[in-house]
Structure formats: structure tokens, C-alpha cells
Amino acid sequence: MTEPEKAPEKRRLFSGIKLVVAVAVVAALASAGVTALLVNIMERKQEAKNPFYRVVELDDTITDPAVWGKNFPLQYDGYKRTVDQKRTRYGGSEAVARTPTQADPRSVVAQSRLEEDPRLVTMWSGYAFATDFREERGHAHMLEDQVFTQRQQVTQQPGTCIHCHGSVYVPYKKLGDGDLIKGFEKMNQMPFAEARKLVEHPVSCIDCHDPTTMQLRVTRPGFIEGIAALKASQGVPGFKVNQDATRQEMRTYVCGQCHVEYYFKGKEKRLTYPWAKGINIEQIMAYYDEDGHADWTHALTGAKVLKAQHPEFEMYNQGIHAKSGVACADCHMPYQREGAMKISDHHVRSPLLNINRACQTCHKWSEAELLNRAETIQTRTFQTRNIAMDALVDLIHDLESAQKAGAPEESLAKARDLQKRAQFYLDFVEAENSMGFHADQEAVRILSNSINFSRLGQNALRPGGGASTAPDQRPAGAPTPGSAGAPQGSK
Ligand code: HEC
Ligand code: HEC
Ligand code: HEC
Ligand code: HEC
Ligand code: HEC
């Protein structure tokens, strides 16, 4: 056996090793390349999910809108402008100067609605609303206006109030050890002042957006539960809003978190949206009738009454725009162009201050024509509202006189029940902030029913009036039984 014989073997072996190494290197390079490509694709996918240039990493614990504003300065600029106050004919808000005091350091407030229309004081007699009720203004003011309203001085308000006036998402989760609903239940039962200390900001980015994807989300337990009850009443059980709603629905639902009728249920003061039978006024009234809840006892008549508050979501749902798939954000947060970007205007306000973007994307009418159409609807609603309010005030005064005159308890009870209905129906339009625009015919229909309830209430006070059938047991619009032609009680 000679070396040279071995040599080629060795050489072959050597070149074999070389080949293996080469293959390995190539394979390694290739797999590195593939990995790099995969990583790159993943990154692109991630970027497509988060198409935003990020200065800071946002997570589910950051409430401060200024931090979010570093990533989204244009939206943050709009958001900050909700401090502005500007009047429209029936809406917007007027800045009223006031001298700050120790108890209330605000130097500017919104117009008092009680001063504008003292009939409201009669309507709400005995309720905190009769002491202070103002025009609403921009989101930036929601916390301070709630803290300093005189309604806080005349009643012990619960922590539930904060649900719609502050950024409660993180505080709820902290209070509930990570469980949103548990935290909500705890805060509801705190005294207002104690709950207030846990909240730092008015409604903030985190209340409407997922911090990683920026997708819209609902964070308010009141709405999560309310919309599920509503959907169940429509034959859709187990509705989970953040999974099951469409994007266009979410552009309304994020507002429906707060712009709704509500009450505090039971001694737990659980915030509840009365939608388990549906969201038109008859269904809501039927819900309260069954539940037996009353907001207060009327000081002049002893009637157990209900006050409606800002049912924008409910009224909007009865209107032509909702039926056509137009969302709250389409009118109140319209798209605007900023250079090459199309963004949503986060200066949430009256669309009538912004007709060009809020309406003309869909309507080809001129600005003047659009304003005129909106104000025509509002003026018609306002006039009907005034008639309904006169009718209700008349009923209240008649009830007072009938009580003094010792009218039969049966008549009084019936008239009080009708006062409750007349009041709730009127308030549903009065407290709704679009003055009929969101659902014009529905608003006038509700007011006409309110007028009828007041009229039936007055009839009930006539001699023998208490004996007749309750109005909700008669076909709508049927004439009232009972003695006709008897004189009306005096005012
Ligand atoms: C088709 C457009 C449109 C849609 C959709 C719409 N609104 Fe409005 N909204 C208006 C107009 C117009 C007014 C009247 C503003 C005024 O009088 O200055 C108004 C008034 C209001 C006001 C009172 C504003 C003020 O300045 O006094 C609130 C609050 C409001 N809307 C909330 C909502 C909510 C919540 C939704 C969805 C549930 C909604 N709107 C859907 C057009 C719209
Ligand atoms: C379901 C959500 C929600 C709850 C709960 C809620 N608010 Fe409001 N609040 C709103 C909305 C929406 C507005 C703006 C529309 C309006 O004023 O009609 C508002 C407006 C106000 C205003 C300014 C206008 C005015 O009425 O003078 C005050 C003050 C106020 N709320 C106090 C309270 C107090 C006190 C509580 C607890 C008893 C409370 N809110 C509970 C949603 C809510
Ligand atoms: C966390 C509860 C909350 C959410 C969510 C919310 N609002 Fe409000 N909104 C309020 C409160 C409270 C006020 C009244 C603040 C005040 O008067 O100090 C208000 C005021 C307004 C006003 C009156 C502004 C003005 O300048 O007069 C408009 C319009 C409005 N909201 C529309 C919307 C729309 C549209 C959405 C959804 C994109 C929305 N809101 C989401 C609670 C909320
Ligand atoms: C009351 C709810 C609400 C609040 C609070 C809110 N947004 Fe939005 N935001 C919206 C709605 C509605 C859209 C439109 C989303 C859509 O069409 O899918 C939107 C869209 C966006 C978008 C997507 C791009 C665009 O402009 O359409 C960004 C980014 C954004 N918001 C940032 C913010 C930041 C930052 C804050 C806090 C300073 C904030 N948002 C507060 C409701 C809200
Ligand atoms: C996203 C599209 C869209 C936006 C934004 C929009 N509208 Fe409309 N509007 C509609 C549709 C759809 C109808 C239903 C009638 C139709 O099909 O033309 C309608 C109907 C109306 C009507 C007739 C109402 C009735 O009872 O018959 C008026 C008035 C009106 N809009 C005014 C406005 C005003 C004012 C604004 C801005 C505040 C506005 N719209 C914003 C789509 C829109």
C-alpha cells in the first residue's frame, strides 16, 4: 500500500468534506436568506396592521392623550380643540363668563337652560336638575362640568356618574384587578368624590381605540351590556360588541357609549341602559313600567316621575340617516385632508359649524340650503316642544289645584301617571341634543304623544275622570272616556 494510492483517497475525502461544507454553507445561507425574507414579510405584515409611524410604544395602560398624541399629532390637535365654544341656532354652546369662586373655579361655563326656559324648573320640581342644567359643551370640559355642577351640592351622587365623564378604562381595570366589569361595579358604589380621585382625564384615546391596532373598540360596560340586551331583544343572543359589530357600526357605537338614556339600577347603582325591550320610546317606557324605577317624586304633585337624558343614540336610530347607514362619526368626525393623508376630525362638535365636510360629502345642496334644511327641522321641533311644555305645565298646575280641592285619589293617581308619561316623552326630545334633527318625524310624533298625555291627565281630573281606562290600554288616539264639557281646573 503506497501513499500515493492513499493520496487520491485522501484528496477525494478532502474534496468530499469540502462539498459537504459547501453544501452546508449554501444551505445555511439559503435558510438565513429565507429566514430574513420571512422576518421581512412578517414585519411588513405587522406594518400593514400598524401603518403608523411610532414615536412611542402604546399599551393598554396609557390614559394620557398627550402620549398617544406623539404618534398621532393630527388627531390629537383636533381632540384638543374640543375646548372651543361656539353657538349655532339651536346647538353648539355659548361661552358664559363667570367669576371663579373657591367652590367653583370655572371662569367660563355654558349657558343655563333653566334661565333660558323657566318652565323646566316646574317640570323638574324637586329634582336636582331644577337647580342647575346647562347647555352641553365640548369633550374637554366633561370632567370639570360634572364636578362643579350645583347638582353635586343638592344630592349625593354615586361614582357611577364618572362612567361617561372621564377616561375610566384603566381605573376600572385597576380597581377590578384586571377585570373591567368588576372595577365598574366597584366604582359605581363609591361616593362621587372618592371615585373622582381615581380618574385623571376626560374621554381619551384609549376609551375608543385599541392601542396596538388603533381599531375602534367599546370600553364602557354600560354600552357593552346595553347593546347585548338590545340585540337579544331583536333575536340575537350573546352579542359581543367588540367582536360582532361591523366597522361602520363601531363608528356609531363608540359614541353610543355615553350619548344615551340611562338610570342607576338598584342599591348597587349599576349603570343601566333601558333597552331590554328595544330602543324606541314606547319600548323604553314599557321597560320602566315593568321595572318600576322612578327618578324622583315631583315636589308639586307627588307624581313618581322619570327624566330622560341625552338619548342621541336612541333617537338617531329612528332617523333617516341611521336607516341609510350614516354613522355618528360621518357627521361629527368627518374625514379631512391633511396633506396626503385623510384623517378623521377629532374636533367632535356641531356639524353645522362644519357643513362643508360634514354634509357636502353626501349632499350636493349648497351650504346655505343645508343649513336651512337642518334649521327648518329644528324650528318645527322647537315649536312643537314649546306647545308640549305648556301642556305639561298646565297639567302640573291643575294637579296642584285638584290636590288642594280634595279631588278623589283615583283621579289624582291617574293624572299623576299621565304626568309621568307626558314628562318622559317631552324630556326625550328636550334632552336629546339635536332638536329633532337626528329623527325629525319621530321627534314630533313623540311630542304629539306628550301633548296627548297632558290632555288626558287634565281630563282625568274632571269629575268622574279617574274612572276611565288607562291610556295605554286604549288604542292609540282613541278619545278619552269620561265626562265631557266639565270646566278645566284653574292654573
Ligand atoms: C346626518 C348627520 C348626523 C348624524 C349621523 C348624527 N348627528 Fe348628531 N347632530 C347633527 C346635527 C345637524 C346636529 C344639530 C347641531 C346644531 O344644532 O348645532 C346634531 C347635534 C348633536 C349633538 C348636540 C351638538 C351641539 O352642538 O349641541 C350631539 C351631542 C350629537 N348630535 C350626537 C350624535 C350622536 C351620538 C350620533 C350617533 C348616535 C349622532 N349625533 C349622529 C348631525 C348628525
Ligand atoms: C350614560 C352616560 C352618562 C352618565 C352615567 C352621566 N352623564 Fe352627564 N352627560 C352625559 C352626556 C352624553 C352629556 C352631554 C349631553 C347633555 O348634556 O345632554 C352629559 C352632560 C352632563 C353635564 C353638562 C350639562 C348639564 O347637564 O348641565 C353635567 C353637569 C353632567 N352631565 C353631570 C352628570 C352627573 C352629576 C352624573 C351622575 C348623576 C352624570 N352626569 C352621569 C353622559 C352621562
Ligand atoms: C365617555 C363618554 C362620551 C363619549 C364616548 C362620547 N361623548 Fe360626546 N359628550 C360627552 C359629554 C359628557 C359631553 C358634555 C361635556 C360638557 O358639557 O362638559 C359631550 C359633548 C358632546 C358634544 C357637544 C359638543 C359641543 O361643542 O357642544 C357632541 C357634538 C358630542 N359629544 C358628540 C359625540 C360623538 C359624535 C361621539 C363619538 C365619536 C361622542 N360624543 C363620544 C360624553 C361622551
Ligand atoms: C370618542 C371616541 C374617540 C376618541 C376619544 C378618539 N378617537 Fe380616534 N377615532 C375615532 C373614530 C370614530 C375614528 C374613525 C375610525 C374608523 O373609521 O374606523 C377614529 C380614527 C382615528 C385614527 C385613524 C385615522 C383617522 O384619523 O381616521 C387615529 C390614528 C386616531 N383616531 C387617533 C386618536 C387619538 C390619538 C386620540 C386621542 C388624542 C383619539 N383618536 C381619540 C374615535 C375616537
Ligand atoms: C354619509 C352620507 C351622508 C351625510 C354625511 C349626511 N347625509 Fe343627509 N342624508 C343622507 C341620506 C342617504 C339620506 C336619505 C335620503 C336620500 O337617500 O337621499 C339623507 C337625508 C337627509 C335629509 C332629508 C331628511 C328627511 O327627513 O327626509 C336632510 C335634510 C339631510 N340629509 C341633511 C343632512 C345634513 C344637514 C348633513 C350634515 C350635518 C347630512 N345630511 C349629512 C346621507 C348623508
pLDDT, tens digit, for every residue of 374-390?
Answer: 999 999 999 999 999 99
One domain for residues 347 and 396: no
Are residues 170 and 63 in contact, defined by beta-carbon separation less than 8 angstroms?
yes
One domain for residues 167 and 83: yes
pLDDT at 486: 30
14 belongs to a structural domain: no
Are residues 460 and 488 in contact, defined by beta-carbon separation less than 8 angstroms?
no
pLDDT at 85: 94
pLDDT at 175: 98
One domain for residues 286 and 387: no
77 belongs to a structural domain: yes
User: Ligand 3: which of 106, 113, 139 to mutate, most ligand atoms within 8 Å of CB?
Assistant: 139
* Rounded CA separation 287/308 (Å): 13
pLDDT digits (tens, 9 = 90+) for 240-258: 999 999 999 999 999 999 9
44 belongs to a structural domain: no
Which residues line ligand 2 at a C-beta cut-off of 6 Å? 133-134, 136, 145-146, 149, 151, 157, 160-161, 163-165, 222, 258-260, 262, 271, 310, 431, 433
pLDDT digits (tens, 9 = 90+) for 85-141: 999 999 998 899 999 998 899 999 999 999 999 999 999 999 999 999 999 999 999
463 belongs to a structural domain: yes
* Rounded CA separation 394/457 (Å): 10
Directed axis angle between helix 180-188 and helix 221-233, to 10°? 110
pLDDT at 241: 98
* Rounded CA separation 173/360 (Å): 41
Among residues 320, 342, 367, the one where a domain terminates is 367
* pLDDT surpasses 50 at 1: no
Average pLDDT in the chain: 89
pLDDT digits (tens, 9 = 90+) for 201-221: 999 999 999 999 999 999 999
* Rounded CA separation 286/290 (Å): 6
Beta strand 263-265 with 108-110: parallel, antiparallel or unpaired? unpaired
Which residues line ligand 4 at a C-beta cut-off of 6 Å? 65, 68-69, 72, 75-76, 79, 203-205, 207-209, 214, 216, 247, 251, 254, 329, 333, 343-344, 346
C-beta 331 within 6 A of ligand 5: yes
pLDDT at 407: 95
One domain for residues 70 and 109: yes
pLDDT digits (tens, 9 = 90+) for 441-487: 999 999 999 999 999 999 999 987 765 544 444 445 544 333 333 33
pLDDT at 298: 98
One domain for residues 192 and 328: yes
C-beta 183 within 6 A of ligand 1: no
* Rounded CA separation 439/318 (Å): 6
Work out which ligand 2 atom sits closest to the CA atom of 149: 29
Residue nearest to atom 39 of ligand 1 (CA): 328
Would you state the torsion angle of the CA atoms of residues 406, 407, 412, 415, taken in this order, to the nearest 10 degrees? Answer: -130
Are residues 384 and 444 in contact, defined by beta-carbon separation less than 8 angstroms?
yes
| Residues facing residue 343 across a β-bridge | 336
Q: How confident is the model over 306-324, as a mean pLDDT? A: 98
Residue nearest to atom 36 of ligand 5 (CA): 359
pLDDT band at residue 8 under the 50/70/90 scheme: very low
* Rounded CA separation 434/378 (Å): 8
One domain for residues 305 and 381: no
pLDDT digits (tens, 9 = 90+) for 153-190: 888 899 999 999 999 999 999 999 999 999 999 999 99
**What percent of the chain is predicted at pLDDT more than 70?**
84
Q: Which ligand is nearest to the CA of 133?
A: 2
CA angle 70, 197, 205 (to 5 degrees): 25
484 belongs to a structural domain: no
- Asked which of 173-187, 259-273, 354-368, 469-483 is least confident by mean pLDDT, the reply is 469-483
* pLDDT surpasses 80 at 490: no
126 belongs to a structural domain: yes
| Whole-Å CA distances, 23 to 18, 29, 33, 277, 487 | 8, 10, 15, 72, 109
One domain for residues 233 and 348: yes
Q: How confident is the model over 225-232, as a mean pLDDT? A: 98
pLDDT at 224: 98
The CATH number linked to 463 is: 1.20.140.10
One domain for residues 441 and 389: yes
75 belongs to a structural domain: yes
| Domains in the chain, number | 2
* pLDDT surpasses 70 at 435: yes
pLDDT at 46: 52
* pLDDT surpasses 60 at 50: no
Beta strand 263-265 with 95-97: parallel, antiparallel or unpaired? unpaired
One domain for residues 339 and 374: no
**What percent of the chain is predicted at pLDDT more than 90?**
80
299 belongs to a structural domain: yes
pLDDT at 465: 76
* pLDDT surpasses 90 at 4: no
Q: How confident is the model over 75-84, as a mean pLDDT? A: 97
One domain for residues 337 and 439: no
Q: What is the pTM of this model?
A: 0.90
Among residues 340, 367, 394, the one where a domain terminates is 367
* pLDDT surpasses 70 at 299: yes
Note down the domain range covering 454: 370-473
pLDDT at 83: 96
One domain for residues 318 and 355: yes
Burial (Cβ within 10 Å: 0-12, 13-18, ≥19) of residue 425: buried
One domain for residues 91 and 182: yes
The CATH number linked to 198 is: 1.10.1130.10
